[in-house]
């Protein structure tokens, strides 16, 4: 279920208040490769085990917030650092 465009317009990073945008297929493919290799951890230190179908990338490109069933998970500890 895709995220609503109305919701996307009002969402910001809870840490920095920077705007967020949908993650590209390239970013998602890279993260899903790391998940498959059991190397990806979120900022809370937990290993990410499920593939990421959608995500929101912070404006500076350093952090991704996963979207789960059309619902953005905007928790800092659930976010993922992008390298």
Q: pLDDT digit string (tens) for 15-54? A: 999 999 999 999 999 999 999 999 999 999 999 999 999 9
Q: What per-residue confidence (pLDDT) applies to 10?
A: 94
* pLDDT above 70 coverage of the chain, percent: 99
Instruction: Write 27-32 long-range contacts (CB < 8 A, 24+).
Output: 27/55, 27/57, 27/64, 27/82, 28/52, 28/53, 28/54, 28/55, 31/55, 31/64, 31/80, 31/82
Q: What per-residue confidence (pLDDT) applies to 1?
A: 63
């Amino acid at each position: 279920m895709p995220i609503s465009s109305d919701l996307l317009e009002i969402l910001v990073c809870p840490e920095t208040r920077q705007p967020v945008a949908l993650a590209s297929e390239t970013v998602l493919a890279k993260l899903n490769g790391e998940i498959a290799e059991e190397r990806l951890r979120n900022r809370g230190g937990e290993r990410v085990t499920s593939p990421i179908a959608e995500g929101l990338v912070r404006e500076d490109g350093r952090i991704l917030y996963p979207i789960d069933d059309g619902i953005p998970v905007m928790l800092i500890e659930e976010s993922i650092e992008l390298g």
